[in-house]
Amino acid sequence: MDKEVVFRLNDKLLSWFRLARRDLPWRQERTPYRVWISEIMLQQTRVETVLSYF
């Protein structure tokens, strides 16, 4: 891919994420443990279920 295309795609994706992202607790305080636990739980469980345990 052309570098300009990659740059534009990256910019559009980040702009969309700023508008559409969900407010999730493991994004508030990013400690390695919280990130690791959320990654493991989200591999096997829906976000809605993980939220009740987090």
Question: Average pLDDT over the chain, rounded to whole?
Answer: 91
Domain total of the chain: 1
Residue 29 has pLDDT above 90, yes or no: no
Residue with token string 């739980």: 41
Residue 46 pLDDT: 93
Q: Distance (Å, rounded) from C-alpha 29 to C-alpha 21?
A: 16
What tokens appear for 39 in the block?
Answer: 């990654």
Which domain range does residue 23 map to? 3-51
List, by residue number, the catalytic residues: 39
Residues 2-25 have pLDDT tens digits of: 999 999 999 999 999 999 999 888
Q: Distance (Å, rounded) from C-alpha 34 to C-alpha 8?
A: 32
